[in-house]
Each structure stands twice: as structure tokens, then as C-alpha cells.
Amino acid sequence: MTQHIRDVMTAAPVAVGTLTGVGEVAQRMRDEDIGAVLVTERDELRGLVTDRDLAVRVLAEGLDPARTTVREVCSPRLVTVSPDDESGRAVALMRRHALRRLPIVADGETVGMVALGDLAVEHDPESALGEISASAANT
């Protein structure tokens, strides 16, 4: 049975504007227990910022979190999939581009996000990543 992205994605992901400060984004990630936030401008997807981006592109570079916006540190070149795509396509794209998360876009609108852990739970629940991701989802 073919699994589609819509069956495993997280709907309504957190999104912030391009001028949002990275300190605010870090607090939002903490409060909502998430590791990535979409970056939008006038409802158009402009990038993705992850907890790793904050560590590597802000803290490690000595940038001031109070003065740095997500526009300055987000990953602007995004690989996206449609909710109607097969989950195997997402896995292949993640592998090819060394990604852990993919925004889900339908008719130009961001409708969700899928993480590597989401796919591991569905495709290989006995794997270490599948077990960890399933356990994290149940806490």
C-alpha cells in the first residue's frame, strides 16, 4: 500500500515572518517543542530555520540573537513536496539533499512539514530512529 505525505506530515507547521528575531524563534521552538520553523513573507514560503541553524549560524558565529533576524540565518533554498506525493519520494529527496525536514506545499501554500523521524516511524518503526521518534511523539 502506497503511503502519501499527507498521511505522515505535521499539518499547520509554525511559521514566522522574515523579520522575526532569532531569540523569539528559539523561545518558540522551546515552548512548542519543535526543531524547525518555516519563514514566510506575505504568506509565501521564504525559508526554513532549524535549531541547528540557530546554533551554527548565530551562536557559533557570535551574532547577537537580539539583533539577528531569521532572514539572515534561514536556509532559503528549499526542497518541497506535495501532500499527494508518495512518502518514498520524500525519503529519496531527503537522502539526495541530506535533509531532515521537508515543507509540504499545495497550490503555492505551505500546508505542512514532514520530518525524517515521521517517515522512519511509518517506514521502519523497528529502526533506532523509528523507535526514538515514536517514543518522542508519545511523551
Please check the confidence at residue 136 and state whether its pLDDT lies above 80. no
What's the whole-model pTM score? 0.81
pLDDT, position 43: 83
Cα-to-chain-centroid distance, residue 92: 16
- Partners of 130 in the β-ladder: none
Q: Cα(82)–Cα(64) distance, rounded to whole angstroms? A: 36
Compute the average pLDDT of residues 91-95: 92
Q: What percent of the chain has pLDDT over 70?
A: 85
